[in-house]
Structure 1
């Protein structure tokens, strides 16, 4: 897998996860706590990577 394929896979996984109401609730919680949109997006992408690696569920 090359970088382009990996980024596409991560993006697809993040988009899929963002549809989950529990993930949406966590993202809103982070925004209410003062995190920026960029910080919340970074969290989502890191979480997506973790699920693809089997680290997070």
Structure 2
């Protein structure tokens, strides 16, 4: 449970603009070869669509 809480804090604490910022888009493309479609969708050529989530699971 503690790991889940920490993971939620680090994985889900961001602003939409951080992903859609021009520099972020370039870095994601260079490193991950993925396209940022919007703040809630990153299209990976290997993994397919990835949806950054803000919700932590309730246990």
In proportion to residue count, which structure has more strand? 2
TM-score, length-scaled by structure 2 = 0.37
Structure with higher helix content: 1
Bigger Rg, structure 1 or 2: 2
Q: Relative contact order (C-alpha < 8 Å, sep 6+): which is higher?
A: 1
